[in-house]
Structure 1
């Protein structure tokens, strides 16, 4: 799996292949396919190998902080493995390594006051928001604007786009970590508001 992840990081998914992986590890590509049943099975195992690098989160801090720590750990993982991390978006869970983290999130939600009825949807919403934010950053959506992009906004008709024109230059100094932190805090605030809990 480490060789597969290394190859994915070197080549990207478009150029990654079982043949190239077989050459790298010194075996028939069909043996790899047989072991994982299909390419999706191998991708799931690669995603699980990444998830295994996430740090366990203990129960010794408030539930909000546990979610914050786990979210930031996902972002660090995405920045370290930008070509492999998107595989996490394809699976409800990645396997053995993922279950302990999902269990932790469910314990956090129970402690926060989420009912068993809503827990699966809120757990999945949390993962989708965090993994989606990470994917947006590594794919280039969340980043400071280029001069040309700001110029394009500043040339818009003032009567129709007053706010966008006023704020356009601010996008030049946008900090990606700030976007991540704000978005995650909005999720926590929204959950607290829904539950009538404190955001601390």
Structure 2
């Protein structure tokens, strides 16, 4: 069987698989080439270097976010986008710290940012309020994704893990933490269940920015 021809798309796909499996620190031109069964110089025919790969990977992750539609009501559009972003970042836990780091954003990145702003600006937010809202929603979604990715227990082990930590505390020490674990971290608890409640609180807060914008529809 003839070997599949190398392309930029195949390089980025291999880089994504490598980062998903081994983390972003493992991403080198040589490692990508090895994954493709090619020589490093062959990879350089399709990307200029690691920075270009990172640009492409970040843009590919943004392409997995649902794009909000300007002209539709802002709240369900941002909620839909937030859920899809969280899911994408769970698939690619290495990506969260990189999302806003690229100096050469790709078309999916630019389209995503433009659509979020367009959704806000077309539904009663002024430019200042739209900027605040965009910063807040991304801070929440990215921060939550980072927390989920770094919790040191699997979802089915979080109850035992939390209780093991509390068991090491001195008697009477950290009483509020001990109470929280005793009363909240029980069978069926999942940290991820906090997302929906917190997202609604964030959207409520964003709504106050809209209400304060001059000329916003009531």
Contact kept in structure 1, 2:29 and 2:49, CA below 8 Å:
no
Equivalent residue for 2:32? 21
- Give the whole-Å Cα distance in 2 for the aligned partners of 1:177 and 1:92: 32
Closer/same/farther in 2, CA of residues 30 and 86 from structure 1, 3 Å limit: farther
Structure 1: segments with no counterpart, 5+ residues? none
User: Could you tell me how far apart the structure 1 residues matched to 2:138 and 2:153 are?
Assistant: 18
Q: Distance in 2 between matches of 1:140 and 1:94?
A: 30
Question: Which TM-score applies when normalising by structure 1?
Answer: 0.78
Q: What is the CA-CA distance between 1:115 and the residue it aligns to?
A: 1.9
* 1:45 to partner: Cα distance: 0.9
Q: Are 2:121 and 1:110 equivalent residues in the alignment?
A: yes
Contact 2:75 2:203 (C-alpha < 8 Å) held by counterparts? yes
- Per the alignment, do residues 180 and 86 of structure 1 end up closer, same or farther by CA in structure 2, a change over 3 Å counting? same
TM-score normalised according to structure 2 size: 0.73
C-alpha contact (below 8 Å) 1:137/1:143 kept by paired residues: no
Structure 2 stretches lacking a partner, 5+ long: 1-11, 213-218
Whether 2:86 is the aligned partner of 1:75: answer yes
Matched, 1:163 2:176: yes
**Distance in 2, Cα, partners of 1:164 & 1:89:** 34
The size of the alignment, in residue pairs, is 196
The answer on 1:134 being equivalent to 2:145 is yes
87-96 or 179-188, larger mean C-alpha shift? 87-96
Question: Is the aligned partner of 1:95 residue 2:110?
Answer: no
TM-fit CA distance, 1:150? 2.5
Task: Provide Cα deviations, 1:108-133, integer angstroms capped at 9, x if missing partner.
Answer: 22244332134334323322321221
2:55 and 2:105 in contact (8 A); partners too: yes
Q: Which has the larger radius of gyration?
A: 2
Secondary structure of the 1:14 match is: helix
Note the alpha carbon deviations across 1:22-58, whole angstroms, 9 max, x for none.
Answer: 2233444355457544423321211111222333333
The CA RMSD over aligned residues, in Å, is 3.0
